[in-house]
Amino acid sequence: MSSPKRILLLHLYSNGDCLYATAIARQIKQDYPGCHLTWVIASFCAKIIDNNPYVDDVWVVQMPTKPANVQPIRQIKKEINDKIARGEYDLCLFTQLADENVANYDGAIRSGIFRCYGRPITVPVTPVLCLRDEELAKTAAFAVQHQLSGYKNVVLFEFAPQSGQIAITPAVALRIANEAVAVPDTAIILSSGIKVVSDNPAIIDGSILTLRETAALSHYCTLMLGCSSGITWVTTSSAGKLLPMIQMLDPHAFWINPVSRDFERFGLPLENLVELYDADLEKAIACVKTALTEGFTAARTKYYTPLPVQFISTRRTIYNMLVLLQFRDIYKHIRVNLDAFGPQPGLLKEIALGFLTMPFKLVGNVVRKHILRKGTTGK
């Protein structure tokens, strides 16, 4: 009888993406019974998989929080291949939407990540997050300290998102918060890595809680105001509470991951979701206040905005792959998006421009990186 496979799951970042990938870890355990699974993850995301029952070991690596290129990932992949060649591991599954895997991006992150696995996902897609007793206790103490049970409405507000899908400054967040708490019996928790101070006790700084603890905090809340970043997705995990959501997104963001598109693809309910795409602050405030005073259904009826379809990432993806002569990956990316969206004019235009503009962009990049840099350094 052969020994269980020693498998590596290479998924380095970010917290939201790693949450999606916890379903893959669960799937691996089903597809390879008795295997020993080691998750290779960046140090700044390692806590998100702490206490995960489907992960036997964690290999933490140091890398930039926002890699400027794929070299750090390729270095890690080389190290893994060396270990496999030495017989330390049997198999590595690379599921990050990076390097050649960018070809799998189809307008939503989770479906792209699942495609990287290369086998059907038959387990529940709910992100697996298993909190420790001390995390639950800290969150409960936070709820008592701020008397959350005394409010009819408790809004969990994700701002300053790391996903890059919208920019919300602390000043804007406070503007929205002050308008929200003007509704009687309402508190709002400003949740991010940035501390925000307010004299109003109903405007609560949530930065002292970790992302994991914020999942527990969602059970004390009644409404989510988010940006499709890590805090949004942690509320959809096994440790969180799926709240009615108002999501604010920039339709022109390079990587867009709308909750509506994700939920639709995975058969999740859409009736408790409003997405706003026009960056209208007054409209966002009005939507929140309507949800608090008239109910979520009324807010959805008045302010629901259809998802605009854009393919901004396709042109750059094709360019990057052309530079690296990754023709098979270009074909895959085009096929994946045609399967997802059909022959949309916008998609066909971006595909064409990816090829047509490549020579000009390449020359421009060479000039900037070499000739102009040489001129500024005087060498």
- CA distances (Å), origin 132, targets 14, 138, 343: 21, 10, 48
Q: Give the residue-averaged pLDDT of 228-240.
A: 96
In the chain, % of residues over pLDDT 90 = 79
Pairing status of strand 57-61 against strand 36-42: parallel
Res. 371 pLDDT band, cuts 50 70 90: low
Of residues 117, 118, 102, 116, the one with CA closest to residue 334: 102
Res. 345 pLDDT band, cuts 50 70 90: very high
Q: What is the pTM of this model?
A: 0.91
Domains in the chain, ordered, with CATH?
A: 6-117 (3.40.50.2000), 139-303 (3.40.50.2000), 312-377 (no CATH)
pLDDT digits (tens, 9 = 90+) for 101-110: 999 999 999 9
pLDDT at 378 over 70: no
The helix-helix angle for 109-117 and 15-31 (nearest 10°) equals 30
pLDDT digits (tens, 9 = 90+) for 22-43: 999 999 999 999 999 999 999 9
Res. 1 pLDDT band, cuts 50 70 90: very low
- Of 279 and 270, the structure prediction assigns the larger pLDDT to 270
DSSP conformation letters of 265-314: HTT---TTEEEE-S--HHHHHHHHHHHHHT-HHHHHHHH--PPPP--HHH
Angle 170-176-177 from CA coordinates, rounded to 5°: 85
Find out whether 85 and 92 touch, Cβ atoms under 8 Å: no
Q: Count CA within 13 A, CB hemisphere, residue 196.
A: 29
